[in-house]
Structure 1
Amino acid sequence: MIYTTTEIIPGREIESVLGVVTGSVVQSKHVGRDIMAGLKSIVGGELKGYTEMLMEARAVATERLIAEADKFGADAIVGVRYTTSSVTDAASEIMVFGTAVKLK
């Protein structure tokens, strides 16, 4: 499956728009990561545990996006965007959305 943040796919023509597709995951914080993040915030620097957690969450959300596009019979997803939101103090949602299309 081709997925891109652009509205077009170079060298390909969009035959039809099938609809908006989404994928999301709500990821909770890990107590161990919170403790390490608290310690790291004292000296500064990247919070690698959170970086890894968010990378994993984006991958899961993207897999769900592609699965939904497959249900539409899509060849590609254009205009892909990622967003995050806080669900609770201990959890965040990663959402990805785009437009499923059929290519010529």
Structure 2
Amino acid sequence: MIVTTTNQVGNREVDSYLGIVFGEVITGVNFIKDFGAGLRDIFGGRAQGYEEELINARNEAIQEMMQRAAALNADAVIGCKMDYEVLGQAGSMLMVTISGTAVRLR
């Protein structure tokens, strides 16, 4: 499955548009990662625990979108856009969403 932020795929033409597909992931960030990130906030440096959580959530959202496109017999998802939000009372939840247009190519 081809996934791209562009509205076309190389030299191939879009044969049919199958609809908008989405992938959504909401994940909690645990106390240990919060504690480590708090130390990084004080002393500087990268918050590796948060980075790993973000990478995992992003990959899961992409995979979910690809599965939904495959259910439509799509060859590709074009025009993808990704968004990140923090949710929850203490900002302890991370939401990653991605959307694009499922298409069949010639």
TM > 0.5 between the two? yes
Number of equivalenced pairs: 104
Which of these residues, 78, 85, 92, is aligned with residue 90 of structure 1? 92
1:38-53 matches, cutoff 5 A: 38-53=38-53
Matched residues, percent identical? 36
**Partner secondary structure for residue 94 of structure 2:** strand
Any idea what SS the aligned residue of 1:69 has?
Answer: helix
**Corresponding letter in the other structure for 1:65:** M
CA RMSD of aligned residues (A): 0.8
Measured in 2, the distance between the counterparts of 1:43 and 1:86 equals 23
Q: Does residue 30 in structure 1 map to residue 53 in structure 2?
A: no
The alignment's TM-score, normalised by the length of structure 1, stands at 0.96
Cα deviations across residues 57-89 of structure 1 (Å, max 9, x unaligned)? 001101100000011110000011110122212
Find the aligned partners of 2:42 and 2:16 in 1 and give their Cα distance.
Answer: 53
Please list every run of 5 or more consecutive structure 1 residues that lacks an aligned counterpart in the other structure: none
Give unpaired runs (5+ residues) of structure 2: none
Partner amino acid, structure 1, of 2:75: D
What amino acid is the match of 2:93? A
Matches of 1:21 and 1:87, distance apart in 2 = 23
Rounded Cα–Cα distance in structure 2 between residues aligned with 1:85 and 1:36? 20
How much does 1:50 deviate?
A: 0.4
User: How far apart are the structure 1 equivalents of 2:3 and 2:94?
Assistant: 24
